[in-house]
C-alpha cells in the first residue's frame, strides 16, 4: 500500500466511517436500511428519540422508508464515555436459568416486550412511550413477570 493510500488490499477505504468510525471498530456504515433489528439490540433514549444499538452500530426507525437505518451515535454521546453511561436503557437484564439459547432468549424477549406493551399501553420503542407514556414502570414490571415466567432471572 503506497504512502497516503487509505485502501486495503480489497480496495476498502479503511478511513471510512463505519470501518474505523470515530466511536470504534466494527460499525456497518451509515445510511444502510434493515427490515429488522438484531435480536440482541438495546434501546436507548437520547433527546426524546429512541436509538437502537447492537454490535457497535446505532439504528433509528425511518418512517419514510419503513425500515431501520444505521446512523451516527447521537450528538454528544461520543463525548460522554459510551452508551451505557450516557443514555438510559429501557430494557431489563435477563439471564437464562434453563439453558435457553441466544435465539430463544431473543424470541422470548421480543414476545415479552409485545405482551408488556399490550398489558400497559407503554411502548419504549415509540417516541414518548406510545399511547400511554406514563406507564414505564408498569411496562418494566410486566416484562419482568413475563420473562420470569419463561425461566429467566431478571434484574
DSSP string over 26-79: T---SS-EESS--TT-EEEEETTEEEEEETTEEEEEETTTTEEEEEPPPTTTGG
* Per-residue pLDDT at 9: 47
Please tell me the distance from the alpha carbon of residue 88 to that of residue 136, in angstroms, as a whole number: 12
Residue 24 has pLDDT above 70, yes or no: no
Residue 3 has pLDDT above 80, yes or no: no
Q: What is the DSSP letter of 151?
A: T
* Per-residue pLDDT at 20: 42
Closest CA to 98 of 142, 148, 144, 140: 148
Q: What is the band of 17 on the pLDDT scale with cuts at 50, 70, 90?
A: very low
pLDDT tens-digit readout, 59-118: 998 989 889 999 988 877 654 444 333 344 455 788 889 998 888 888 888 888 889 889
Contact present, 139 and 116 (Cβ < 8 Å): yes
What contacts 107, CB < 8 A, 6 or more positions away? 39
* Per-residue pLDDT at 27: 54
pLDDT tens-digit readout, 117-145: 899 888 877 776 666 666 778 888 898 89
Please tell me the distance from the alpha carbon of residue 84 to that of residue 135, in angstroms, as a whole number: 23
Q: What is the pTM of this model?
A: 0.46
Amino acid at each position: 500500500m503506497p504512502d497516503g493510500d487509505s485502501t486495503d488490499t480489497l480496495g476498502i477505504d479503511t478511513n471510512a466511517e463505519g470501518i474505523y468510525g470515530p466511536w470504534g471498530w466494527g460499525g456497518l456504515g451509515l445510511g444502510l436500511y434493515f427490515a429488522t433489528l438484531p435480536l440482541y439490540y438495546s434501546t436507548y433514549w437520547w433527546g426524546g428519540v429512541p436509538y437502537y444499538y447492537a454490535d457497535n452500530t446505532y439504528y433509528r426507525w425511518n418512517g419514510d422508508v419503513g425500515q431501520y437505518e444505521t446512523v451516527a451515535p447521537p450528538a454528544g454521546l461520543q463525548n460522554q464515555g459510551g452508551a451505557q453511561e450516557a443514555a438510559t436503557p429501557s430494557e431489563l437484564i435477563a439471564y437464562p436459568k434453563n439453558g435457553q439459547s441466544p435465539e430463544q432468549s431473543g424470541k422470548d424477549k421480543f414476545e415479552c416486550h409485545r405482551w408488556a406493551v399490550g398489558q400497559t399501553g407503554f411502548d419504549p420503542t415509540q417516541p414518548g412511550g406510545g399511547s400511554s407514556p406514563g406507564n414505564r414502570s408498569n411496562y418494566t414490571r410486566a416484562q419482568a413477570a413475563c420473562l420470569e415466567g419463561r425461566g429467566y432471572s431478571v434484574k
